[in-house]
């Protein structure tokens, strides 16, 4: 794949692989996989289910997906940067 497209594909190790990755590489790959799965799980289980967006056109589906992902990102920014709990809208008293 790397020769044809220039992309490198990294996969978790398998027992029958000749070349095994280092433990640090495996830990980083597992952490990334868990983060991606966590985001998909949160997108799937908050608000409207991704499989039930009921869009009639591709543009409508894209619009709804963009809205859902943007809302997720905004919630993450509020929680991480400003310590605001989006469900209760409570923030630290020294932040105001």
Mean pLDDT in residue range 5-13: 81
In a domain, 72, yes or no: yes
pLDDT band at 27 (very low <50, low <70, confident <90, very high): confident
In a domain, 26, yes or no: yes
Reply yes or no on whether the pLDDT at 94 is more than 60. no
In a domain, 81, yes or no: yes
Q: Which residue has the higher pLDDT, 96 or 53?
A: 53
Mean pLDDT, all residues of the chain: 81
- Give the per-residue pLDDT at 59: 93
pLDDT band at 8 (very low <50, low <70, confident <90, very high): confident
Number of domains in the chain: 1
Domain holding 31, by residue range, is 19-96
Q: How far is CA 40 from the centre of its chain?
A: 5
| DSSP calls for 32-83 | HHHHHHHHHHHHHHSSS-GGG---SSHHHHHHHHHHHHHHHHHHHHHHHHH-
């Amino acid at each position: 794949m790397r020769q044809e497209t220039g992309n490198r594909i990294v996969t978790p190790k398998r027992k029958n692989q000749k070349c095994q990755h280092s433990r640090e590489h495996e830990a980083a790959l597992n952490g990334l996989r868990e983060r991606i799965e966590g985001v998909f799980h949160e997108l799937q289980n908050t608000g409207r289910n991704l499989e039930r967006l009921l869009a009639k056109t591709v543009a409508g589906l894209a619009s709804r997906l963009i809205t859902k992902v943007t809302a997720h990102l905004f919630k993450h920014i509020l929680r991480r940067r400003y310590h605001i709990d989006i469900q209760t809208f409570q923030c630290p008293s020294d932040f105001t």
